[in-house]
Amino acid sequence: MSRTLSRITLGLLLAPALLAASIAQAHQAGDIIVRAGAITVDPREDSGAVEAGGAALAGTGATLDSDTQLGLNFAYMLTDKLGVELLAATPFSHDVGVTGVINKLGSIKHLPPTLSLVYYPMDSGAAFQPYVGAGINYTWFFDEDLGSAAEGAGFDGFSLENSWGLAAQLGADYMLDDRWMVNAQVRYIDIDTTGKTSLNGAPVRVDVDVDPWVYMVGLGYKF
């Protein structure tokens, strides 16, 4: 083949590949990305001893189980590589126990909105977009309910203090086309709270570092 012809042939061969690459165009300044998926909050609670009437009870501590809900991310790209992101979710519900005292003290709900600055190191043309982020979390506890067994045992009233803390995350988007993506992410959120109740009229309190790992997998769409 002549040199000209081979260049044309090469061009024709490369064209579909270049087209495919441009279809997977990811994350540019001004993009709005919405992600939705299953999100699990897995507390790795580190609890102080329960204090009743001012005295610490040796061997006691609060426990929390994990919960999975619908997670949402709303992200806005400030530049091709830097975005802001809000984490939202349907309310999480956890059972609360007290080691050595009562298996199920009650249950709580919470919402942990988190606002993060997120950095995407890859070029905007890459289909695979890993990212790191750091931000601020506010966790709002509500619907604190004592269990019937706890009420029967003489507990009365139950509350958890809301928490401000830092959050860090790792995640990745994989672009399926120029709008849809699959996403996986993990975060660590610093959530510290104090639980309060009373037992036979004596005030009971416990400091708990909830500090959960938060996992989410789902789909995203870029506007």
Please report, as ranges, the residues that interact with Ni ion according to CB under 5 A.
190, 192, 209, 211
**Cβ atoms within 10 A of the Cβ of 88, count?**
15
Q: In angstroms, give the least distance from the CB of 96 to Ni ion.
A: 17
Q: What's the min distance (Å) between Cβ of 43 and Ni ion?
A: 11
Indicate the residue among 118 and 189 with the shorter CB distance to Ni ion: 189
Which CB sits closer to Ni ion, 52 or 191? 191
Residue nearest to Ni ion (CB): 209
- Secondary element (H or E) of residue 182: strand 180-189
Q: How far is the CB of 211 from Ni ion (least distance, A)?
A: 4
Residue with tokens 């086309």: 177
Neighbours of 175 (CB within 10 A): 21
Closer by beta carbon to Ni ion, 81 or else 187: 187
Q: What are phi and psi of 29, to 5 degrees?
A: -50, 135
Q: How far is the CB of 210 from Ni ion (least distance, A)?
A: 7
Main-chain phi, psi angles of 198, to 5 degrees: -140, 150
Measured CA angle at 172 (ends 223, 91), to 5 deg: 75
65 or 209: whose CB is closer to Ni ion?
Answer: 209
